[in-house]
Structure 1
Amino acid sequence: MMSNLPRDLSEEVLSRIPLTSLRKVRSSCKKWNTLSKNSFFAKKHLRRQEAEEVAKEEFMVVVMMDYSVYLMGVNLSDKESCIKRQSKLICPEIEVCIVFHCDGLLLCVSRDHTKLVVWNPYSGKPLWIEPTYKPKRLTHSLYALGYDKSSNSYKILRFRGTLLFTMYDINSDSSCVSERVLDITPPDWKVTYYHAGVSLKGNAYWLATKEEEENCLVCFDFTRETFGPRLPLPFEHFPRDTVSLSVVRGGKGKLAVLFQPWDTLTVEIWVTSKIEPDSVTWESKVLLRVSLKQTIHPQFQFLIKGASFFIDEQKKVAIVFDKEFDPKTLPIRNTAYIIGVDGCLKKVDLGESAHNLNTPLACSYLPSLIQPN
Structure 2
Amino acid sequence: MEIFRDLPEELVEEEILTQVPAKYLNGLRSTCQRWNRLFSSDRRFGRKHGDKAAKQFVVLMLTNFFRVCPAIVNLDGKVPTFEVKTELSLVDPHSEHPGAQFDVYRVFHCDGLLLCTSEDASRFVVWNPLTGETRWFQPSSGGTIGRGFALGYGKNKSYKILSYYRGRKDYEMYEFSSDSWRVVGDILPPGFTLRYSSITVSLQGSAYWVAYDEPTTQIIKFDFSTEKCLLVPLPYPSQPDGRFEVLRLTNVKDEKLALLVQLDDTSKTEIWVTNKIDETNSQVVSWNMVLALDLSPHNDVQVYDEGSFLFDEEKKVVVVSEQWFDFEVEEEDLGQNKDMIYIAGEDNVVTQVDFGLDGPNQCVSGILNYVPSFVQMEQAGGKRKRADLSDM
Question: 1:114 maps to what in 2?
Answer: 122
Deviation per CA, 1:32-56, whole angstroms, max 9, x where unpaired?
5554443343234335555455xxx
TM-score by length of 1: 0.84
Matches within 5 A, 1:1-373: 2=5, 5=8, 7=10, 10-23=13-26, 25-28=28-31, 32-36=35-39, 37-51=41-55, 53=57, 59-91=58-90, 92=92, 93-135=101-143, 138-150=144-156, 152-160=157-165, 161-171=167-177, 177-184=179-186, 187=189, 188-213=191-216, 215-228=217-230, 230-238=231-239, 239-249=243-253, 251=254, 253-264=255-266, 266-275=268-277, 279-283=283-287, 285-292=288-295, 298-300=299-301, 302-325=302-325, 327-328=327-328, 332-356=337-361, 358-373=363-378
SS at match of 1:87: coil
The offset of 1:254, in angstroms, is 0.6
Kept in 2: contact 1:338–1:346 (CA 8 A)? yes
Secondary structure in 1 aligned to 2:102?
A: coil
Structure 1 counterpart of 2:234, one-letter code: L
- CA–CA distance in 1 between the matches of 2:244 and 2:328? 25
Q: Measure how far apart 1:221 and its partner are.
A: 0.8
Between the two proteins, the alignment pairs up a number of residues equal to 353
1:204: Cα distance to partner? Answer: 0.6
Q: CA deviation at 1:212?
A: 2.3
Q: Contact conserved, 1:118 with 1:126, CA < 8 A, in 2? A: yes
SS of residue in 2 equivalent to 1:332: strand
Distance in 1 of aligned mates of 2:298 and 2:49 = 42
Name the SS of the counterpart of 1:323 in structure 2: strand
| Identity, % of aligned positions | 33
Alpha-carbon distance change, 8 to 157 in structure 1, aligned in 2, over 3 angstroms: farther
Task: After superposing the two structures, state which structure 1 stretch, 67-76 or 336-345, moved more.
Answer: 67-76
Would the aligned equivalents of 2:196 and 2:210 in 1 still touch at CA under 8 Å?
Answer: no
* 1:12-48 alpha-carbon deviations (Å, 9 max, x no partner): 2102334344356455456555544433432343355
SS of aligned partner of 1:114: coil
CA RMSD of aligned residues (A): 2.8
Shift of 1:85: 1.1
Distance 2:27 2:276 in 1: 39
Aligned to 2:105, the other structure's residue is in SS state strand
Question: Whose relative contact order is higher, 1 or 2, with alpha carbons under 8 Å and at least 6 apart?
Answer: 2
- Partner Cα distance (2:303, 2:60) in 1: 20
Does structure 2 retain, via aligned residues, the 8 Å contact 1:114–1:134? no
